[in-house]
């Protein structure tokens, strides 16, 4: 297939291009103009499309004849207007520019769209978990990823395009290590919040391979698939593993989840009392966002395993190469 | 000019970018107005703004919104180069208009819009939210109380790396903002109206200095301004710089008896004058030290409470809405707007001369 990969210069997009090429696809890799890859680094079978989805331009002319889209592009940081532009406006412009007759759309969403308060004890999160009903209480990323996913689903439903919505967990790999599980660092100490809660990690190559494999799914209509690795370490275990792999981590100090929630409750009370509920709190003090990151939840990936089979990269291997890239 | 039956003003917003969030936050809480329509070229951005602040019909065509919703007042929050056509459209639809600064690229164009508003019998206001900020209100109060004596000098010094945002984002094609003074021009009205209001002057006698593109970023147009302005009874320095840290928006007013310095990003209020002068100056410095500690605590509280630099926006809009509802003159008059545009023209001409 001729596949357009948006966000091809990003952490995940780069891996998706490699996997798509390995799967035998012809790849149109969309890169932002200010960070185009050197021509000699672009492999045969990949055509670089310079363009920024936040505005129109000649990139739209390059989309004729594509069979499928893997939509990785999104703004992962910045304030709400920045993320609205980089995620929502960008997606609106992409959808408006797509040619008719697409065979498949693979949309890279996020676990952040779920309602992490919804699962009852014993908390299990899978594709049937409801989406966040009150995104305004969360962060700009959740708000914009929810809106982006809705736009893509409406577009594909209206056009009759088979859609795979892929919701990856925390993607790690060379260049991205999620602070090796620590919540805060105080001097030589790394505070490990909710040390026994599991992290929803997925190695970037595993993630990219499953996203590319989603292009071949036989299912018509739309399919939601959570992407997490089979090995899901605890925060404590991930930090410990990183230390074993040689990561420059501090001395781990566990902070139980109940203590984290107690801090959040105090911060909430202070916000209500002194700031009319408008206090801007960091993630580790904000009750709704605490749940997203640290609530003890079991993440299921049964559907992904059934559809995509075995994963390539094991946690120990992924951690080794991740740590190796951060060492001087 | 009063609104029938004293009902809240029916308000519409055109342009749902960054600054719209501050206007919409005001509309979500005021009793003086009610949002009746949102318009943006991007339906998705308009819908996002609608979902965030208040349910109202969403449009991608301003004409359709004006015709269907018949707003009493329109907030024009689109890029500056589009203001002229949209403001005229809103005035022709019978609406009052609040337009983000700069209203246009030149005083001549601004004058044309003010004439159009006068002919339509509608209020046209250019936003100058910083005049309603806490530190600026304190400065104005100090000046009015005569504590500075006769105001002789005013420096307004902005240092902000705006090239890190859309103005300098070379992933995007074209100019960051299509104005004669480039990206500097987008900020310049703030500096000019602060100078004018704090010194009580309107016209420039002379201006000397530089308007340049030091970074050579093609999207910026101009990214550096440093000028000495001579307004007859008062003089001062206006500066916009992107290449120095930390971000600051310093305002210094010096009078015949005393001086005051403040900052609009991390406000403090440093008064140097009687009685703590001469031999008592060290006492003044100690007092200033305690004042700085208090300012630090207040700034920490304000940052947690999201009381940011644009907190004057709500006050300004409330004042404009109240004036329109009561049929009174708005707090920002056509003469004020035109005077700012003329002084801005003179400064921007330094760039054209290069």
**Ordered structural domains, chain B, with CATH:** 4-127 (3.40.50.720), 131-311+345-352 (3.30.360.10)
Q: What is the pLDDT of residue B5?
A: 53
**Between chains, do B171 and A136 touch, taking CB under 8 Å as contact?**
no
Pick from B21, B42, B173: which is nearest to A92 by CB?
Answer: B42
**A108: enclosing H helix or E strand:** strand A104-108
Q: Which residues contact A219 (CB under 8 A, 6 or more apart)?
A: A162
Which residue from B190, B188, B184, B191 is spatially nearest to B168, judged by alpha carbons?
B184
Write out pLDDT tens, residues A64-117. 999 999 999 999 999 999 999 999 999 999 999 999 999 999 999 999 999 999
Tokens coding A145: 């990823």
Residues of A carrying an active site annotation: 141
Q: What is the pLDDT of residues B136-174, one digit of tens each?
A: 999 999 999 999 999 999 999 999 999 999 999 999 998
Residues 275-304 of A with CB under 8 A from B: 275, 278-281
Cβ–Cβ below 8 Å for A279 and B306: yes
> Which residues, in sequence order, are CB contacts of B57 under 8 Å at separation 6+?
B36, B37, B38, B65, B68, B69
Question: Measured between alpha carbons, how far apart are the two ends of chain A, in Å?
Answer: 41
What are the helix (H) ranges across A98-182?
140-159
Q: Are the beta carbons of A126 and A186 closer than 8 angstroms?
A: no
From chain B, the residues in CB contact with A92 under 8 A are 42-45
Q: A227-278, pLDDT tens digit by residue?
A: 999 999 999 999 999 999 999 999 999 999 999 999 999 999 999 999 999 8
Chain B CB contacts of A143 under 8 Å are: 48, 52
| Shortest Cα–Cα distance, A143 to chain B (Å) | 9
- In whole numbers, what is the pLDDT of chain A averaged over residues? 96
How many CB atoms within 10 Å of residue B236? Answer: 25
Whether residue A52 lies within 8 A of chain B, CB to CB, comes out as: yes
Of residues B6 and A199, the one with the higher pLDDT is A199
Q: Is A81 on the interface with B (CB under 8 A)?
A: yes
Give the chain B residue nearest A148 (alpha carbons): B44
B178: which residues sit within 8 A by CB, 6+ positions away?
B79, B80, B81, B105
Q: Which helix (H) or strand (E) holds A257?
A: helix A257-275
Tokens (6 digits) for B280: 């008592």
Residue B4, pLDDT > 90, answer: no
pLDDT of A126 over the 90 cut: yes
Q: Which of B45, B54, B171 to probe by mutation at the A interface, max A CB count within 10 Å? A: B171
Examine the pLDDT at A14 and tell me if it is beyond 60: yes
pLDDT digits (tens, 9 = 90+) for B299-322: 999 999 989 999 999 999 999 999
**A151 interfaces chain B, CB cutoff of 8 Å:** yes
CB proximity B55 to A under 8 Å:
no
Q: Work out the pLDDT band at B353, boundaries 50, 70, 90.
A: low
* DSSP-assigned beta bridge partners for residue B197: none
Chain A residues inside the 8 Å CB shell of B166: 85
CA distances from A223 to A18, A157, A216, A304, B149 (A): 24, 12, 12, 11, 73
Interface predicted TM-score of the whole assembly (ipTM), two decimals: 0.90
Residue in chain B nearest A281 by alpha carbon: B304
pTM for this entry: 0.92
The predicted structure's pLDDT at residue A219: 81
- Asked if the Cβ–Cβ distance from A54 to B48 is below 8 Å, we say no
Show the tokens assigned to B294.
Answer: 């208090």
Cα–Cα distance measured from residue B30 to residue B318, given in angstroms and rounded to the nearest whole number: 7
CA B65 – CA B83 distance, rounded (Å): 16
pLDDT value of residue B2: 47
What was the pLDDT predicted at B179? 95
Domain A2-180+199-234+297-320 top-level CATH class: alpha beta
Q: Going edge to edge, which strands form the sheet with A2-6?
A: A46-50, A26-31, A2-6, A68-71, A104-108, A163-168, A222-227
* Range scoring the smallest mean pLDDT among A52-56, A216-220, B282-286, B323-327: A216-220
Average pLDDT of chain B is 95
Q: Among residues of chain B, what percentage have pLDDT more than 70?
A: 98
Going by pLDDT thresholds of 50, 70 and 90, the confidence category of residue B264 is very high
Contacts of A274 in chain B (CB under 8 A): 301, 305
Q: Do A147 and B306 touch (CB under 8 A)?
A: no
Q: Is the pLDDT of residue B1 over 50?
A: no
Asked if B52 lies within 8 A of A91 by C-beta distance, the reply is no
Neighbours of B200 (CB within 10 A): 13
Banded pLDDT at A186 (limits 50, 70, 90): very high
Give the pLDDT confidence of B123-138 residue by residue, as tens digits: 999 999 999 999 999 9
Check the CA dihedral A164-A168-A174-A175 and report its sign: positive
CB A57, CB A37: distance < 8 Å: no
User: Between helices B312-326 and B20-29, what is the axis angle to 10°?
Assistant: 60
Q: Is B87 left (phi over 0), alpha (psi -120 to 50) or beta?
A: alpha
Q: Is the pLDDT of residue B354 over 60?
A: no
CA A297 to chain centre: 18
Best CA proximity match to B24, nearest among B33, A269, B158, B71:
B33
Please tell me if residue A117 touches chain B, with a CB cutoff of 8 Å: no
What three-state secondary structure class fits A106? strand
Q: Is the pLDDT of residue B213 over 50?
A: yes
- Of the pLDDT bands very low, low, confident and very high (cuts 50, 70, 90), residue B270 is very high
Which residues touch B165 (CB under 8 Å, ≥6 apart)? none
Question: Would an 8 Å CB–CB cutoff place B7 in contact with chain A?
Answer: no
Nearest by CB to A280, from B42, B48, B304: name it. B304
Each residue's pLDDT tens digit, A307-327: 999 999 999 999 999 999 877
User: What pLDDT is attached to residue A326?
Assistant: 78
Size of the A and B interface in Cβ pairs below 8 Å = 58
**How far does A81 lie from chain B, in Å, by closest CA?**
5
Q: Can you tell me the mean pLDDT for B340-347?
A: 97
């Amino acid at each position: 297939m001729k596949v357009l990969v948006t966000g091809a210069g990003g952490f995940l997009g780069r891996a998706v291009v490699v996997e798509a090429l390995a799967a035998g696809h012809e790849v149109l890799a969309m890169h932002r103009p200010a960070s185009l890859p050197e021509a000699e680094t672009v492999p045969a079978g990949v055509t670089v499309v310079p363009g920024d989805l936040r505005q129109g331009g000649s990139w739209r002319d390059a989309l004729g004849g594509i069979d499928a889209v893997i939509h990785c592009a999104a703004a992962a940081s910045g304030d709400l207007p920045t993320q609205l532009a980089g995620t929502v406006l960008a997606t609106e412009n992409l959808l408006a520019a797509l040619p008719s007759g697409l065979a498949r759309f693979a949309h890279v969403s996020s676990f952040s769209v779920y309602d992490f308060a919804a699962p009852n004890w014993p908390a299990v999160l899978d594709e049937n978990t409801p989406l966040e009903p009150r995104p305004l209480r969360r962060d700009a990323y959740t708000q914009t990823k929810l809106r982006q996913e809705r736009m893509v689903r409406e577009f594909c439903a209206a056009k009759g395009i088979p859609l795979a919505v892929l919701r990856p967990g925390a993607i790690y790999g060379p260049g991205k290590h999620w602070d090796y599980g620590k919540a805060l660092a105080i001097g030589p100490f790394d505070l490990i919040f909710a040390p026994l809660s599991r992290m929803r990690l997925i190695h970037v190559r595993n993630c990219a391979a499953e996203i590319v494999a989603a292009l071949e799914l036989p299912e018509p209509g739309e399919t939601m698939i959570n992407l997490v690795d089979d090995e899901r370490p605890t925060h404590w275990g991930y930090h410990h593993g990183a230390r074993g792999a040689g990561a420059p981590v501090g001395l781990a100090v566990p902070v139980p989840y109940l203590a984290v929630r107690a801090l959040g409750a105090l911060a909430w009370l202070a916000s209500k009392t002194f700031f009319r509920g408008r206090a801007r709190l960091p993630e580790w003090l904000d009750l709704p966002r605490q749940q997203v990151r640290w609530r003890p939840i079991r993440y299921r990936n049964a559907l992904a395993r059934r559809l995509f089979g075995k994963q390539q990269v094991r946690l120990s291997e992924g951690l080794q190469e991740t740590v190796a890239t951060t060492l001087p | 000019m009063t609104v029938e039956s004293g009902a809240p003003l029916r308000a519409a917003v055109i342009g749902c970018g960054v600054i719209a969030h501050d206007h919409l936050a005001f509309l979500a809480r005021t009793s003086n107005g009610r949002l009746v329509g949102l318009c943006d070229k991007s339906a998705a951005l308009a819908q996002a703004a609608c979902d965030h602040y208040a349910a109202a019909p969403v449009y991608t065509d301003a004409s359709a919104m004006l015709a269907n919703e018949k707003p009493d007042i329109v907030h024009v929050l689109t890029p500056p180069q589009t203001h002229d056509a949209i403001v005229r459209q809103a005035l022709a639809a019978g609406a009052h208009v609040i337009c983000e600064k700069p209203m246009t690229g030149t005083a001549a164009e601004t004058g044309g819009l003010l004439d159009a508003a006068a002919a339509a019998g509608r209020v046209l206001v250019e936003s100058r939210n910083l005049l309603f900020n806490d530190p600026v209100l304190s400065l104005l109060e100090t000046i009015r109380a005569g504590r500075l004596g006769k105001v002789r000098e005013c420096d307004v010094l902005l240092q902000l790396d705006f090239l890190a945002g859309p103005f300098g984002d070379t992933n995007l094609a074209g100019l960051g903002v299509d104005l004669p003074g480039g990206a500097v021009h987008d900020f310049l009205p703030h500096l000019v109206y602060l100078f004018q209001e704090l010194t009580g002057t309107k016209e420039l006698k002379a201006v000397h200095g530089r308007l340049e593109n030091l970074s050579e970023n093609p999207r910026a147009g101009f990214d550096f301004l440093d000028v000495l302005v001579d307004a007859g009874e008062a003089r001062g320095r206006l500066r916009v710089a992107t290449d120095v840290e930390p971000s600051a928006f310093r305002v210094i007013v010096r009078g015949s008896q005393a001086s005051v310095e403040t900052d609009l990003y991390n406000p403090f209020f440093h008064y140097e004058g009687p009685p703590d002068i001469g031999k008592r100056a060290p006492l003044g410095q100690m007092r200033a030290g305690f004042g700085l500690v208090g300012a630090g605590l207040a700034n920490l509280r304000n940052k947690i409470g999201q009381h940011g630099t644009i907190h004057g926006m709500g006050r300004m809009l409330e004042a404009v809405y109240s004036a329109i509802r009561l049929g009174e003159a708005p707090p920002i008059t056509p003469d004020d707007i035109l005077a700012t545009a003329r002084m801005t023209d003179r400064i921007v001409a330094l760039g054209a001369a290069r």
